[in-house]
Amino acid sequence: MSNIKFFRTKKQKIYWVLSWFLTAFLMTLDRLSKNFVLDNFKNGSIKIFDGFDITLSFNRGVSFGFLNFSQDRLFYILSIFIAIFIVIFLMYTSIMFKKGESTWFNFFILAGAYSNLLDRFIYGAVIDFVDLYIKSWHWPIFNLADVFIVFGVFGLLGRMFYHDYFRKD
């Protein structure tokens, strides 16, 4: 058995636990929003205000409807790759954490990815509903999990840029 501890300090342990609470909280927000839309918006689009509708959509692709597969086999292959990515990203997050690096943005990505993967297994598609548009141009329909993923990715990119730009060599 290894003598290497996962948590070097009590503060690090608290940070790790809070990170998982953040993940659970974000997943809960996403799950509740999707359940609300499934229960209340089955009959087409509902206009909230100009430029924003709630439109129930079942997405068999990835974020924002990209790679939308109608064939079951391709959908399941994509789902398996997403599950593998989540496992690898969780291992990467653990390594970052052990090095003492901030992993908050990673947990936003994990929350969104877990929640959308759960949709794939429960519904055979990801539940999307946020429909933003200007006149006749529509952004691809998305959900809160997609927002969490995008926020996490931009946060990671921003952090990498910040560290590279301000690194003292």
Low-confidence ranges of the chain (pLDDT < 70): 1-5, 62-70, 167-169
Residue 29: predicted pLDDT: 98
**Element (H or E) spanning 90, and its range?**
helix 72-98
Residue 1: predicted pLDDT: 47
Write down the domain spans for the chain. Answer: 14-166
Catalytic residues: 128, 146
Other Cβ atoms closer than 10 A to 9: 10
SS (H, E, C) 4-61: CCCCCCHHHHHHHHHHHHHHHHHHHHHHHHHHHHHHHCCCCEEEEECCEEEEEEEECC
pTM: 0.85
